[in-house]
C-alpha cells in the first residue's frame, strides 16, 4: 500500500512547499531464499536517511536511520540483517538485505525529514519504493517492446506496448527530450498476465499533430532492464495492422494474438477520447432503450 507515503509527500505540495522526492531503484528486486538483495536511494542533498519496510495491508515500519556514516537500528536484532552504504561524494545510499527469507518480502522505502517553518512541524518525504519478491524464478526482461500509433483528424495516439516480462512490477513513463516526465494526455494501463506466467503493460500518449516535431520517449524501469527508452518514430506514416505485426521483435506470431486482444481496448479508448459529448448521450439512450421492457398491447402500466 502506497497510501501513507503518497499522503505524506502530497502534504508538502498542498502547502506550496514542494520537497524533492527521493529516487529509488530498482522498482522491484527478486531474491532467492538465503541470498541477498540490494536497492539504492538518491537524494538531492546530504541528509539523514530513514529506511522503512512495509508489509501488505500494514503501514510502513522504520528499520533504521543513517546520520553520518553509522546506522542506528530501531531493533538491535536487525544489525546482522541490513547493511547501509553511502557514496563517498554524493547523497546516494544503498540498503542490502542479507540472508533473505519469505519474511523479508515487502516494499522498502527510503525517506528524509524536513522542517517547515510556517507550521513549526517536521514532515517526512518518502521515496518511490522498491518491492522485494522472494522467489527462485529470477527475472526476465521484456521479450518485446514498441510504440504503436494511430491517427484521427488532428490528433495522434501513441501506444507503448511492453510484453512478457517477469516479475510484474515495472515503472513506465512518457518523457520528453530533456528526460522530463510527461503527464498531460497520458493514460497508464494496468499490468496484465500474458503467457507463461509473464506480464505485459501498455500506456497511451495523445498529441496534437503539430506537436509531433518534439522528441518523446516511452521509458521503463524493470529489475532486468533499467532506464530503457523507446523513441516515437516519424508520424508521417501510420502503420497498418499488418505493419504492426511485422514490426514486432522476437516471435511476432505469438505476441500478435495477445496484441489483437488488447488493441481493441486501445481503440475503444481512442473513440471515447475523440468523440463529442453528444455521442455519449446517443449511446446511453440506445442502451437504455434495449434494457427497458416493451409494453404489451392492451396492458395498463
pLDDT in the model for residue 246 = 35
The pLDDT score that the predictor gives to residue 215 is 85
Residue 64's closest CA among 50, 81, 47? 50
pLDDT of residue 288: 66
- How many CB atoms are closer than 10 A to CB 214? 11
Q: Give pLDDT, residue 240.
A: 41
Phi, psi of 124 (to 5 degrees): -115, 135
Give strand ranges (E) for 153-266: 155-165, 171-176, 181-182, 186-188, 192-193, 199-208, 216-222, 225-231
Residue identified by cell 531464499 is 33
CA 44 from centre of chain: 22
10-residue mean pLDDT series, the chain (301 residues): 41 50 87 92 88 93 87 89 88 93 94 85 90 86 91 87 89 90 90 86 89 80 83 60 38 40 49 53 67 53 45
pLDDT at 60: 94
pLDDT at 53 (0 to 100): 96
pLDDT value at residue 275: 52
Q: Which residues of 245-265 are buried (b: 16+ CB within 10 A; e: fewer)?
A: eeebeeeeebbbebbeebbee
Please state whether the peptide bond connecting residue 26 to the residue before it is cis, i.e. omega within 30 degrees of 0. yes
Q: Model's pTM, two decimal places? A: 0.57
Strand order in the sheet with 171-176: 181-182, 171-176, 216-222, 225-231
pLDDT at 72: 92
The distance from CA 190 to its chain's CA centroid, rounded to whole angstroms, is 9
Q: Are 203 and 190 in contact (CB under 8 A)?
A: no
Phi, psi values for residue 242, rounded to 5°: -65, -35
Per-residue cell: 236:
508521417
Amino acid at each position: 500500500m502506497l497510501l501513507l507515503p503518497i499522503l505524506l509527500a502530497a502534504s508538502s505540495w498542498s502547502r506550496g512547499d514542494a520537497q524533492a522526492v527521493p529516487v529509488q531503484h530498482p522498482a522491484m528486486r527478486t531474491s532467492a531464499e538465503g541470498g541477498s538483495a540490494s536497492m539504492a536511494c538518491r537524494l538531492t542533498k546530504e541528509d539523514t536517511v530513514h529506511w522503512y519496510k512495509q508489509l501488505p495491508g500494514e503501514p510502513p515500519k522504520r528499520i533504521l536511520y543513517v546520520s553520518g556514516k553509522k546506522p542506528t537500528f530501531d531493533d538491535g536484532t536487525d544489525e546482522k540483517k541490513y547493511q547501509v552504504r553511502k557514496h563517498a561524494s554524493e547523497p546516494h545510499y544503498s540498503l542490502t538485505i542479507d540472508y533473505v527469507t519469505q519474511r523479508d518480502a515487502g516494499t522498502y522505502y527510503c525517506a528524509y525529514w524536513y522542517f517547515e517553518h510556517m507550521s513549526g512541524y517536521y514532515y517526512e518525504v518518502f521515496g518511490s519504493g522498491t518491492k522485494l519478491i522472494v522467489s527462485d524464478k529470477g527475472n526476465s526482461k521484456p521479450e518485446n517492446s514498441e510504440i504503436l500509433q494511430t491517427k484521427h483528424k488532428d490528433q495522434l495516439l501513441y501506444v507503448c506496448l511492453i510484453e512478457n516480462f517477469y516479475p510484474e512490477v515495472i515503472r513506465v513513463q512518457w518523457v520528453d527530450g530533456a528526460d522530463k516526465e510527461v503527464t498531460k494526455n497520458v493514460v497508464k494501463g494496468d499490468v496484465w498476465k500474458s503467457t507463461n506466467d509473464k506480464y505485459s503493460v501498455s500506456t497511451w500518449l495523445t498529441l496534437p499533430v503539430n506537436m509531433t516535431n518534439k522528441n518523446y520517449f516511452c521509458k521503463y524501469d524493470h529489475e532486468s532492464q533499467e532506464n530503457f527508452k523507446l523513441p516515437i518514430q516519424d508520424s508521417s506514416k501510420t502503420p497498418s495492422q499488418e505493419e504492426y505485426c511485422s514490426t514486432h521483435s522476437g516471435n511476432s506470431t505469438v505476441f500478435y494474438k495477445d496484441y489483437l486482444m488488447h488493441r481493441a481496448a486501445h481503440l475503444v479508448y481512442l473513440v471515447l477520447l475523440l468523440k463529442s459529448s453528444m455521442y455519449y448521450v446517443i449511446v446511453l439512450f440506445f442502451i437504455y432503450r434495449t434494457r427497458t421492457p416493451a409494453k404489451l398491447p392492451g396492458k395498463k402500466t
